[in-house]
């Protein structure tokens, strides 16, 4: 039996016969991906998404997805001699990402819109567009790796692929890609997953790219001023209603102008002082109440998940209902390394027990699961945090918002 020869993207056939759509954001990373694949002889098509009304963010340093970025992507494509298309996804982005972001904040959550963008727009609509163009793969500039799954003979039609943390832990973006489905992983390619940022910059200079020294994006693209509250007030006029700032012991300490100005774990800018450090420990959207207390009240041991995406070996139902808790590692923040955890079956669904605990966990964030805490460990999936609770009964009582409401009314 003749063994199929795979190219550098683990696809059968010569690069010249392999069409790859590159999602070009206008930054150095995706531009290097386009240049690298073009240099390797692939049939490359560049594609840029216009996601929102760029307005004041157009020329601001550190903003992403702005008008300048579209211009930069087009220029790089012209220099490389590849076709380039700009797709207007503004209405789709508004509905799936911006509106959901505003509603989540108004519900007292801390949303992560970059994950929603990957989940609902980039790896859904854009991926389908790439297929419609006859592409064999969609490549992006994310710092995450994908390889044939252990024991699989190849990739794509020949087998599944698995997602792994990037080689450069400071640049790893696997947290933002937990919702990527198995079908999407099989079609996606991440050429920068085994590179450092310095190596990427060096390639940009080698290829003479006009964006080789361009700064990385740092902000949420549709929050040009960096103020979430201003964006939400514009999207949902009048939705930010005032309410009480209440201590865990029931004391009403002051008033606030809307829970959208607060996040769980916040210390600065609360607006009240009692001679000891105070932190936001809970946001009760229904009662318009901001609950504050000491740092120890932020301790979290268990998180319940919704909309779980599992890309580990075997179907998720095999765990943990039938086999007991599954040892994993978990991240509840993109900047933290994976911590020891267990995936367990809770009363309301799947839960994750954070064995070392965590502080300031908020509903709306993501909990991403990994095989281990080692470099380039495999991504097993994850889910959106629906609720967080502490380990001991005393701390659990601190989070009893009904009891707090009773005390505050007395």
Query: Which residues belong to the active site?
Result: 117, 221
Please say whether the beta carbons of 141 and 29 come within 8 A.
yes
Cβ atoms of residues 111 and 364 within 8 Å: yes
Q: How many helices (H) and strands (E) does the chain have?
A: 11, 17
Interstrand relation of 43-50 and 366-370 (parallel, antiparallel or unpaired): unpaired
Cβ–Cβ under 8 Å, residues 176 and 170 = no
Query: 3-state DSSP call for residue 81?
Result: coil
Rounded Cα distance, 160 and 149, in Å = 6
Pairing between β-strand 299-310 and β-strand 349-359 as defined by DSSP bridges: antiparallel
Contact status, residue 318 vs residue 380, Cβ threshold 8 Å: no
Cα 222 from Cα 65, distance rounded (Å): 8
Q: How far apart, in whole angstroms, are the C-alpha atoms of residue 298 and residue 280? A: 8
- Judge if the upstream peptide bond of residue 320 is cis by omega within 30 degrees of 0: yes
Q: How many residues does the chain have?
A: 410
Alpha helices (H) along 194-342: 197-206, 228-235
CB under 8 A, 24+ apart: contacts of 105-109 = 105/228, 105/232, 105/260, 106/232, 106/236, 106/239, 106/240, 106/259, 106/260, 106/285, 107/285, 107/363, 107/364, 108/259, 108/282, 108/283, 108/284, 108/285, 108/363, 109/283, 109/362, 109/363, 109/364, 109/365
Q: Which has the closest alpha carbon to 228: 103, 399, 44?
A: 103
Per-residue tokens: 21: 């759509």
Query: Measured at the alpha carbon of residue 9, what is the angle toward residues 145 and 185, in degrees to the nearest 5?
Result: 50
């Amino acid at each position: 039996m003749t063994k199929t020869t795979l190219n550098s993207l683990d696809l059968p056939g010569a690069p010249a016969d392999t069409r790859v759509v590159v999602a070009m954001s206008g930054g150095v990373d995706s531009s290097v991906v386009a240049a690298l694949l073009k240099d390797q002889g692939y049939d490359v098509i560049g594609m840029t998404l216009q996601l929102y009304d760029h307005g004041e963010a157009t020329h601001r340093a550190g903003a992403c997805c702005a008008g300048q970025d579209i211009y930069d992507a087009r220029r790089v494509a012209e220099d490389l001699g590849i076709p380039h298309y700009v797709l207007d996804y503004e209405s789709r982005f508004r509905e799936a990402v911006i509106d959901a972001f505003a509603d989540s904040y108004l519900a007292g959550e801390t949303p992560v819109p970059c994950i929603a963008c990957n989940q609902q727009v980039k790896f859904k609509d854009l991926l389908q567009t790439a297929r419609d163009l006859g592409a064999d793969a969609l490549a992006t500039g994310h710092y995450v790796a994908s390889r044939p799954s252990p024991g699989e003979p190849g990739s794509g039609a020949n087998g599944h692929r698995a997602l792994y943390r990037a080689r450069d832990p400071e640049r790893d973006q696997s947290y933002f890609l937990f919702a990527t489905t198995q079908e999407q992983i099989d079609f996606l390619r991440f050429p920068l997953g085994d590179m450092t940022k310095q190596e990427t910059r060096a390639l940009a200079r080698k290829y003479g790219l006009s964006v080789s020294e361009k700064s990385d994006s740092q902000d949420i693209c549709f929050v040009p001023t960096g103020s979430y509250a201003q964006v939400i007030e514009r999207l949902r006029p009048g939705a930010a209603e005032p309410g009480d700032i209440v201590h865990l012991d029931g004391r009403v300490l002051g008033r606030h102008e809307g829970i959208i100005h607060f996040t769980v774990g916040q210390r600065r800018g609360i607006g009240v002082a009692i001679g000891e450090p105070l932190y936001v420990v809970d946001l009760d959207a229904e009662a318009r109440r901001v609950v504050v207390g000491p740092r120890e009240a932020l301790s979290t041991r268990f998180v319940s998940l919704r909309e779980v995406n599992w890309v580990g070996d075997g179907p998720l139902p095999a765990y943990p209902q039938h086999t007991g808790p599954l040892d994993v590692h978990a991240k509840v923040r993109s900047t933290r390394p994976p911590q020891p955890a267990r995936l367990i079956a809770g009363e309301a669904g799947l839960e994750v027990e954070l064995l070392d605990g965590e502080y300031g966990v908020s509903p709306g964030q993501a909990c991403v699961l990994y095989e281990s805490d080692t470099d380039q460990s495999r991504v097993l999936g994850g889910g959106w945090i629906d609720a967080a609770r502490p380990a001991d009964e005393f701390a659990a009582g601190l989070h009893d918002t009904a009891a707090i409401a009773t005390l505050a009314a007395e």
